[in-house]
Amino acid sequence: MNYKFIKGGVTAPQGFTAQGVCASVKPSNKTKRDLALIYSDVLCNAAAVFTKNLVKSDTIAVTKKHLENGKAQAVIVNSGNANTCNADGYEKAEQMCKIAAEALNVSEQDVIVASTGVIGQVLPIEPVIKGVEEMKGRLSKEGGTNAAEAIMTTDTVKKEMAMEMTLDGKKVTIGGIAKGSGMIHINMGTMLSFVTTDAAVSGEMLREALLEAVEDSYNMVSVDGDTSTNDTLAILASGKAGNKEITEKNQDYRTFVEGLTAAFKALAKQLAADGEGATKLLVCSVSGAKTKKDAKGVAKSVICSSLLKAAMFGADANWGRVLCAIGYSGMNVDVKKVDVSFKSSKGVIDVCKNGAGIEFSEEKAKKILLEKEIEILVSLNDGNAQAQAYGCDLTYDYVKINGDYRT
């Protein structure tokens, strides 16, 4: 392991500052921070990936356009309004970029924009103007945590991460924030996430690293099976660490991808654990698969099973639901070779061997499944490939939250 996690978030790398304020983007919000700015004091190489939903926020169209040259210097984000399915959505997204650019004295073409919240409601621009004016001159290293709060919607906790590694003998830092609690499903796996690094990485290699790292992290998350309209994961690299720029897939590139993947996984787990109404983080660890594709497909299928998620909420060791999910995964699996165990801080218990039930202590299983983090261990006993997927339990509160989300 060539990295270590440290305290901090999106402003941990050299060159980055941020801030978040309550701008009352949603008129009923009078206290929660809901507008964020992230700024680099130099122009960065940048890349992003987005939702695969055909219905997309206009912020995505604007950000894609601005990232055509692989450069960015700032990010502006609001919560409380998704700016999706609005006749003036594109215009409002461009306005947000212009407002941020003028305040930060950068080109509006170098601003990334994102929104999250209710779909189909017109985004008021006046709160954005007011909020940016309030943040002007107040961006700081300490402001990163305020930015993390500002992008939250139904999230119950802020999601931040920072880590250090060594590249070319230089200390390199990666930092990030994320938001997401509901409408999270594989095919991006998060609603919004902004990651920064001071590593020197070419634009082409940064995008390649992003695409590699997202596959085993954000793309392995599912809270509720709904792919959001606004999913955006963007990364900016300031190059201030002073390492020799990564321009090819050499050992430094592999080290960077390893750290970036771990960083993304750390944020992905935070997203899964804070799923709407969730009481438990679920991790499905699959081993012994014929191929990586099979391992990932099985892990995703298990973590997405509503029946399994409900069983985990009730601390019910219903391993048959794991087998059922494996069976409809569509992967190349010999179900008569499958072993299943449940694991937590209270221990591990085997519940299925060779695709059949075995005797086990229901009392011990209950104790294991009452913990806040549960690992579902699936051994396919048919190869060497492995994968992990991340999710949460399905609770009464999920329905309550989404029963009146708009009103």
The residue among 38, 51, 55, 180 whose CA lies nearest residue 112 is 38
Q: Measure the CA–CA gap between 67 and 389, rounded to whole angstroms.
A: 30
Cα 341 to Cα 95, 184, 372, 379, 382: the distances in Å are: 53, 26, 17, 9, 17
Q: What is the CA radius of gyration of the chain?
A: 21
Among left, alpha and beta (phi > 0; psi -120 to 50; other), residue 190 is beta
Please provide the size of the chain in residues.
407
Q: Measure the CA–CA gap between 172 and 288, rounded to whole angstroms.
A: 35
For the chain, the straight-line distance linking the first and the last C-alpha, in angstroms and rounded, comes to 47
What six digits make up the tokens of 262? 């771990």
Q: Is 190 an annotated catalytic residue? A: yes
Could you say which of 190, 197, 232, 255 is catalytic?
190
Residues contacting 54, CB < 8 A, separation 6+: none
At what angle are helices 89-104 and 58-66 packed, to 10 degrees?
Answer: 50
Q: Measure the CA–CA gap between 285 and 278, rounded to whole angstroms.
A: 20
At what angle are helices 203-215 and 251-273 packed, to 10 degrees?
Answer: 50
* H helix or E strand, kind and range, residue 46: strand 35-50
Burial of 43 (0-12, 13-18, 19+ CB in 10 A): middle
Cβ proximity of 178 and 232 under 8 Å:
no
Exposure string over 345-371, b if 16+ CB within 10 A, otherwise e: ebeebebbeebeeeebeeeebeebbeb
Q: Within 13 Å of residue 195, how many CA atoms lie on the same side as its CB? A: 34
List active site positions. 190
